[in-house]
Amino acid sequence: MGRRVAAPEDRTAMDVDISPLIENWQFILTGLGFTLSLSGLSIVLGVGIGLVCGVMRTYGGSLLDTAIGLYVDLLRSIPVLAILVWTYFAFPLVIGESLTPFSGGVLALGVHLGAYVTEVIRAGLTSIRPGQMRAALALGMSPLQAIRTIILPQALIRMLPPLGSLIVIAVKDSAIASVIAVPELLRQSQVLAGKTFRPFEIYTAAMLIYFLICYPTARTIDQIYRRFAPLGAS
């Protein structure tokens, strides 16, 4: 209407066109699926490792403490990217069996996460005052029963905030698996951006999707913690 319209070739960066996203939504969705399953499985593996190692490190005597301490310090001193690349390219030479990118990703991210969860669990267990263990033992419980029914539930409640941050970090770290070609969200975005020459739209959408997974997760864990926090205070 008489107003001057900017020439499109001058403003290519701001010329937003979301049609590649709409046309390739299934491609993106596949990536999202891999992101969720990769981070989900690595969280399950990491929390599993962390629970076992955290309990063993706390109650298992000095030998286990030293051994698990070594695992924790080692894994925490190496970049997760290096761990991932090593697991996918070098570890198969050790076991003489090749790994798929996905299983390599789950393994590397899970073992890495496990080191951090171990320390969180240990901190939680040692924060429960010793009288709780004495009370459980005095009832005739075995140490394992006492840990399972009395100590660990309280520790987990107390440890929800740090566990929540680790879980959110695990979701974000799953993007690193793009370097070993796991077709997760970031990898799919890279491929799509290369094909459509629309990096702005596609990477922005990827960021938004990560945010939409991680933010509600963090808030939900926070809400759960607020609700149960009094039950962890002995």
Partner 1 sequence: MITRAATVERPRIGSGAAPILRFEGVCKRYGPLEALAGVTFQVNRGEVVCLIGPSGSGKSTLLRCANALESIDGGRVILDGVDVHDRRTDARKLRRRMGMVFQNFELFPHLTVLRNVAVGPTTVLGMSPPKAAERAMELLRKVGLAEKASQHPAALSGGQQQRVAIARALAMQPDVMLFDEPTSALDPETIGEVLSVMKRLADEGMTMVVVTHEMDFAKRVGSWIVVFDHGKVVEQGPPRQVFEEPTVQRTRDFLSHLGWHGESLAASDLLVHSPSNTP
Which residue lies nearer to partner 1 by CB, 99 or 136? 136
CB neighbours of 89 closer than 8 A, spacing ≥ 6? 180
Size of the site for partner 1 (CB under 8 A): 22
Q: Kindly state the smallest distance separating residue 124's Cβ from partner 1, in Å.
A: 13
Determine if 135 is a binding residue for partner 1 (CB under 8 A): yes
- φ, ψ dihedrals at 97, nearest 5°: -145, 130
Q: Kindly state the smallest distance separating residue 88's Cβ from partner 1, in Å.
A: 41
Residue 221 exposure: Cα atoms within 13 Å on the Cβ side: 18
Q: Kindly state the smallest distance separating residue 132's Cβ from partner 1, in Å.
A: 6
Q: Kindly state the smallest distance separating residue 128's Cβ from partner 1, in Å.
A: 10
CB neighbours of 3 closer than 8 A, spacing ≥ 6? none
Q: Kindly state the smallest distance separating residue 105's Cβ from partner 1, in Å.
A: 35
Q: Kindly state the smallest distance separating residue 51's Cβ from partner 1, in Å.
A: 17
Determine if 224 is a binding residue for partner 1 (CB under 8 A): no
Query: Whole-angstrom Cα distance, residue 161 to residue 3?
Result: 54
Query: Binding residue for partner 1 (CB under 8 A) from 48, 79, 92, 131?
Result: 131
Determine if 154 is a binding residue for partner 1 (CB under 8 A): yes
Determine if 149 is a binding residue for partner 1 (CB under 8 A): yes
**Residue 210 to residues 86, 107, 162, 180, Cα–Cα distance (Å):** 26, 21, 20, 19
Taking a C-beta distance cutoff of 8 angstroms, is the pair 197, 24 a contact? no
Which residue lies nearer to partner 1 by CB, 132 or 204? 132
Taking a C-beta distance cutoff of 8 angstroms, is the pair 55, 213 a contact? no
Mask for 78-117, x = binds partner 1 (CB under 8 A): ----------------------------------------
Query: Whole-angstrom Cα distance, residue 48 to residue 210?
Result: 24
Mask for 155-174, x = binds partner 1 (CB under 8 A): --x-----------------
Query: Whole-angstrom Cα distance, residue 53 to residue 64?
Result: 9
Determine if 2 is a binding residue for partner 1 (CB under 8 A): no
- φ, ψ dihedrals at 128, nearest 5°: -75, 130
Residues in contact with partner 1 by the rule CB under 8 A: 131-132, 134-142, 145, 149-150, 153-154, 157, 230-234
